[in-house]
Amino acid sequence: DQQVKQNSPSLSVQEGRISILNCDYTNSMFDYFLWYKKYPAEGPTFLISISSIKDKNEDGRFTVFLNKSAKHLSLHIVPSQPGDSAVYFCAATIRYGGATNKLIFGTGTLLAVQP
Amino acid sequence: SAVISQKPSRDICQRGTSLTIQCQVDSQVTMMFWYRQQPGQSLTLIATANQGSEATYESGFVIDKFPISRPNLTFSTLTVSNMSPEDSSIYLCSVGDAFEAFFGQGTRLTVV
């Protein structure tokens, strides 16, 4: 059972435009969500996170939106740059009351930003 | 932040053999995590390794197949035993908590 889903395996965007990466989850106990970026031959690096008590968190060009009722979150990158081309993983965890620090990851979306 | 070094970065192994992956962290950490990413799949947690105690394995993973050592607070190893082609994956070491985990560059394993 895939608790965190990224239904778009790939996305292509023109430089300067907005990139929107989507993520859905099924476990209503998740209360903290993260986005990681991964370049080839490198490990994933933390990008941005959001707690379930918020519906938006912004960090520079990156904004994450959370819709708890729909169990959906999205990552917006504005403006997109060629250096943003990477695989983006959505992850979720139970921060409060969780038994472990376990992260549940989606399958990733490959973003290609065209110059 | 933490700097994590994994060795080897990649390997091609014969089925039936074993491979030990090393993970070195530049600071002392309580917990270290081992993940697997099979082709086209998400990162899946294999086990959590605490120094001085047995590793805790996730459902579907067993110690006989993936023995883990944690001899000190900066180092851990994961062994993939009696390998089959289905073990071909990227194996990643991670430290930190779930709110900001740091990953090594991964070990790309191909079993032939």
- A10-14 and B107-111: which strand pairing? unpaired
- Taking 70 as the pLDDT cut, the residues of chain B under it are 98
| Closest residue to A49, CB basis, from B40, B99, B104 | B99
- The CA angle A43-B111-A107, to the nearest 5 degrees, is 40
pLDDT of residue A95: 75
Tokens of B48: 């959590």
Helix (H/G/I), strand (E/B), else coil: B83: coil
Cβ atoms < 10 Å from Cβ of A76: 16
To test the contact with chain B by mutation, choose from A37, A105, A109 the residue with the greatest count of B C-beta atoms within 10 A, namely A105
pLDDT of residue A99: 54
Q: Which residues of B touch A41 (CB under 8 A)?
A: 9, 105-106
pLDDT of residue B85: 96
pLDDT of residue B101: 86
DSSP alpha helices (H): ranges in B1-112? none
B97–A101 CB contact, under 8 Å: yes
pLDDT of residue B26: 95
Cβ atoms < 10 Å from Cβ of B14: 8
Q: Block means of pLDDT (10 residues each) for chain A, length 115 residues?
A: 90 98 95 93 92 96 97 98 97 73 89 97
**What is the Cα–Cα distance from B10 to A1, expressed in whole angstroms?**
29
Q: Which residues of A touch B98 (CB under 8 A)?
A: 32, 34, 93, 95, 98, 100-103
pLDDT tens column, B18-36? 999 999 999 999 889 999 9
pLDDT of residue A102: 79
B43–A44 CB contact, under 8 Å: yes
Distance from CA of B34 to the nearest CA of A (A): 11
pLDDT of residue B8: 97
**Phi, psi angle pair for A99, to nearest 5°:** -75, -30
pLDDT of residue B2: 85
pLDDT of residue A103: 87
**Whether the Cβ atoms of residue B110 and residue B12 lie closer than 8 Å to each other:** yes
**What is the Cα–Cα distance from A109 to A90, expressed in whole angstroms?**
9
